[in-house]
């Protein structure tokens, strides 16, 4: 991928995450962390919703040419998110906190907005 396209892709990803964060807040979520990174994984948004800690993966597509945004979250990607979530919970001393994995998908070029997929996958 040429450097300029990579930068544009990163900028679009950040814009999608910012819009998804606003969307999550509007749904009553309290964002506690954004872009948590650790060895082996990353979590786009971490939020509280009721008694749950919610690990949110944000996916954006400009077209469905290579599949939908939701389809791009492979089993391997899910495993990396789960690994990062476990590390986060251990670091914060929250291993007994109920949690779930949600996905927010969207297309910044369309007016369809975002779609929330609660409990999109599980670590069990």
Instruction: Render pLDDT for 24-68 as a digit per residue (tens, 0 to 9).
Output: 999 999 999 999 999 988 999 999 999 999 999 998 755 555 545
pLDDT exceeds cutoff 70 at 6? no
Which tokens go with 85?
């979530």
How many Cβ atoms from other residues are within 10 Å of residue 70's Cβ?
15
Domain that holds residue 47: 3-121
The predicted pLDDT at position 7 comes to 46
CATH classification of the domain holding 67: 3.40.1350.10
The predicted pLDDT at position 106 comes to 78
Which tokens go with 64?
């469905």
d(CA 79, CA 74) in angstroms, rounded, equals 9
Express each pLDDT in 70-104 by its tens digit.
555 688 888 999 999 999 999 999 999 999 999 99
Q: What is the pTM of this model?
A: 0.83
pLDDT exceeds cutoff 60 at 1? no
Domain count, the chain: 1
d(CA 33, CA 22) in angstroms, rounded, equals 13
């Amino acid at each position: 991928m040429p450097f300029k396209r990579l930068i544009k892709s990163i900028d679009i990803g950040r814009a999608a995450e910012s819009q998804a964060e606003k969307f999550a807040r509007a749904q009553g979520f309290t964002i506690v962390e954004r872009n948590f990174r650790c060895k082996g994984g990353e979590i786009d948004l971490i939020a509280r919703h009721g008694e749950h800690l919610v690990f949110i993966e944000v996916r954006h597509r400009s077209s469905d040419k290579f599949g939908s945004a939701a389809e791009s979250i492979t089993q391997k990607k899910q495993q990396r998110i789960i690994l990062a979530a476990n590390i986060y919970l251990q670091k914060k001393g929250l291993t007994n906190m109920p949690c779930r994995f949600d996905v927010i998908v969207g297309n910044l070029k369309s007016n369809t907005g975002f779609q929330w997929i609660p409990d999109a996958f599980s670590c069990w």
